Amino acid sequence: MPDKTKKQNEPKEKGYTIQALKRANSIALKANKKAYIFYILISLFMTINTYIGLWSAEYTVTSAYNLFMKNSEFMPVLIGISAFAVSNLIFNFIGMGNNMLRNRLMLDVTYYFENNLNDKLSSIKWDYYESNETYLKIHEVRTNSLGKVQGFIGNIVGYITTVPRAAIYCYFLFRISPIFVLIYFVLMTFCNFGGSKMFKKTQKLWEEAQPYSQKQNYFFGMCGDKITHQEYKFNRLYKYTADKWEDAYNKEYKIRLKIFKNYEIILQTARIINNIPYISMLIFISYEIAMGRLEMGFLFMANSLLNQVLDTFVGTFYMIAGNRVDSKFIKSYDEICELENAPIPNDTIVHSDIKLENIEYNYPQSEHKALDNLCFNIKKGEKIAVVGVNGSGKTTCTNLLLSLTDNYSGSITDGDTGKKIDLSKSVSCILQDFAQYQMTVKENIEAGFTDKQFTDNEIIEILDEVGLKEIILDFEKGINTPLGQLENGIELSKGQWQRLAIARLLANPETKLWILDEPTAYLDPIAEIEIYNMIYELAGDRTVLFISHRLGFAKKADRIVLFDKGHIEEEGTHDELIKQKGIYAEMYSNQEKWYKNKEIEDVA
């Protein structure tokens, strides 16, 4: 049965080279239709230079020989050679213009491809990012597919211009002998058929190399990332990560050597096979010249012709070989583009009770339920501390409330009407690894609500609310100060970045549910409670979920909900849960020493 399936799939894989060429052609037309068409037309026009070049080689040598033998006059020969030189100069200028046109086209293709890919990756369902297969495919497309698309576009023009070149070669080969046209046609068919199996092996080798390429990029990038670099230096990780990078490199290196070996075997075999008629023709033409049936210039033309035939043949063969292997990268791009988009969020703002009933959810690569028959009622305006150990389901519940996926069983409904709801437009959040946008202070805040144009005064008011006004206005460029290192900007402390993330929450006045998923994980207990106190005051009548495995702020919440193994195990106020002497009481007892400090108690 597996063998049958494999055979059924083979034609599809083989046929995808044509599909990939069509896809690349479509991308070029969409990126810049005029430039692409003109690029093809000019490239076709320039094939005339092939004919002129061969004719020039024959004419120049024959004329020079006749001058030497005093069988021709000097002036007509000079005029003829000058005409060929001028035409060559004209085609050189046309070629320069065509190269500039090609470069412009490739820039437009780059923009179209990357813009289209980014748009797609931002639109697909969140679940795909949890799949290792899709994650590898995204890496493959990001690192390889653009270059392959550009290569395919160049090859399309190469294939198109090969047709008039082949016609020109056939004309000159017919002048030698019609038999040689037939010989080259048979050889090309034979080499194309013989190389097919080798291409399939090479394609499989590329697939084997991808995971190692991904690992290399990861370990190589560790020392270039500012945050990772700190741990990299402090823990003296160079040798440790370098060994892992080298291991991945060596494994990919061995695979790539096999790929290069396959390529060389295919291409050099093709060259050797095609050199046989090449040598035979030169011997035949030399004999014909010796017998006085052909002129000396014909030998030079034939030598140039046969070299061009060989180069074109091998070049075309190389393009076909490359396209067969590289089509997998275009296929991966197409498969990413075909992934299902997340549902378009509705514009309804929900400001009522929210009810989660019998929710169950599995991550794609996990056998265990991340949420198991979860029932969770969230009252309007309530401030809830969602606690539990890592892996208990807190963040997964957050992802569902953020409408990142609809691939779950159960329902999320309006507590008042009982209707299913989409909370996309109703929720703002700060995650544990919140974004530190390398943009200006103002742009960082505007990112929280892109539907509105903020005035400078509105930005300053928000900064004032989160305690950053004096710090930011003290910068030379104020709210227009770039942050991070992209534009030689200012670097904020972790706590200041955190306050800026809270400012993004405030930027959107429409959201009625705030979710804070471990946003203070990197802060000490005092700073953590200060941040939570500030958010508590700024939230007003909004519903807020404070999600954490640390319990210092929990006692101030209206209600504490404890997650365990994907469902709510305990809920109530701090005092109620302490009296129950359950999981929460035990967790608090273990953490109590963190919050016994008088200064911390005063802050709380």
Asked, for residue 402, whether it belongs to a domain, the answer is yes
- Overall number of domains in the chain: 3
Q: List pLDDT tens digits, range 89-105.
A: 999 999 999 999 999 99
Regarding whether 181 and 256 lie in a shared domain, the answer is: yes
Q: What pLDDT was estimated at residue 162?
A: 92
- In the structure, what pLDDT confidence band is assigned to residue 37 with cuts at 50, 70 and 90? very high
Regarding whether 409 and 547 lie in a shared domain, the answer is: yes
Regarding whether 516 and 505 lie in a shared domain, the answer is: no
Asked, for residue 5, whether it belongs to a domain, the answer is no
- pLDDT(68) > 80: no
Of 122, 107, 145, the C-alpha closest to 333 is: 145
Between β-strands 409-414 and 354-362, what pairing exists: parallel, antiparallel or unpaired? antiparallel
Q: What pLDDT was estimated at residue 318?
A: 78
Q: What pLDDT was estimated at residue 224?
A: 60
The CATH number that applies at residue 101 is: 1.20.1560.10
Q: What pLDDT was estimated at residue 9?
A: 41
- Please compute, for residue 458, the number of CA atoms within 13 A of its CA located in the half-sphere on the CB side: 14
- pLDDT(364) > 50: yes
Of 199, 319, 191, 318, the C-alpha closest to 259 is: 199
Regarding whether 106 and 145 lie in a shared domain, the answer is: yes
Question: Domain range for residue 478?
Answer: 436-509
Regarding whether 372 and 232 lie in a shared domain, the answer is: no
Asked, for residue 400, whether it belongs to a domain, the answer is yes
Q: How far apart are CA 427 and CA 385, in angstroms?
A: 17
Q: What pLDDT was estimated at residue 235?
A: 57
For residues 336 and 218, which has the higher predicted lDDT (pLDDT)? 336
Q: What pLDDT was estimated at residue 535?
A: 85
Asked, for residue 56, whether it belongs to a domain, the answer is yes
Of 348, 393, 389, 349, the C-alpha closest to 375 is: 393
Of 288, 326, 301, the C-alpha closest to 206 is: 326
Please identify, among 509, 540, 558, the residue that sits at the C-terminal boundary of a domain: 509
Regarding whether 53 and 197 lie in a shared domain, the answer is: yes
Regarding whether 574 and 533 lie in a shared domain, the answer is: yes
Asked, for residue 182, whether it belongs to a domain, the answer is yes
What does pTM read for this prediction? 0.74
Tell me the average pLDDT across 381-401: 89
Considering the chain, what is the average pLDDT of its residues? 83
Regarding whether 475 and 498 lie in a shared domain, the answer is: yes
Please identify, among 337, 365, 382, the residue that sits at the C-terminal boundary of a domain: 337
Q: What pLDDT was estimated at residue 2?
A: 38
Of 194, 171, 145, 181, the C-alpha closest to 23 is: 145
Q: What pLDDT was estimated at residue 540?
A: 86
Regarding whether 567 and 493 lie in a shared domain, the answer is: no
| Mean pLDDT lowest among 99-113, 131-145, 447-461 | 131-145
For residues 98 and 180, which has the higher predicted lDDT (pLDDT)? 98
Cβ-proximal residues to 561 (8 Å cutoff; 6+ apart), any chain: 376, 384, 385, 386, 387, 568, 570, 571
The CATH number that applies at residue 592 is: 3.40.50.300
Torsion of CA 206, 209, 215, 219, to 10 degrees: -100
- In the structure, what pLDDT confidence band is assigned to residue 437 with cuts at 50, 70 and 90? confident
Looking at the chain, the whole-number percentage of residues with pLDDT higher than 70 is: 87
Asked, for residue 3, whether it belongs to a domain, the answer is no
- In the structure, what pLDDT confidence band is assigned to residue 523 with cuts at 50, 70 and 90? low
Tell me the average pLDDT across 186-195: 65
Q: What pLDDT was estimated at residue 164?
A: 95
Cβ-proximal residues to 216 (8 Å cutoff; 6+ apart), any chain: 245, 248, 249, 252
Q: What pLDDT was estimated at residue 382?
A: 93
Regarding whether 153 and 109 lie in a shared domain, the answer is: yes
Burial of 579 (0-12, 13-18, 19+ CB in 10 A): exposed
- pLDDT(277) > 70: yes
Q: What pLDDT was estimated at residue 127?
A: 80
Regarding whether 314 and 385 lie in a shared domain, the answer is: no
Asked, for residue 280, whether it belongs to a domain, the answer is yes
Regarding whether 548 and 470 lie in a shared domain, the answer is: no
Asked, for residue 487, whether it belongs to a domain, the answer is yes
Length of the chain: 604
Please identify, among 509, 524, 554, the residue that sits at the C-terminal boundary of a domain: 509
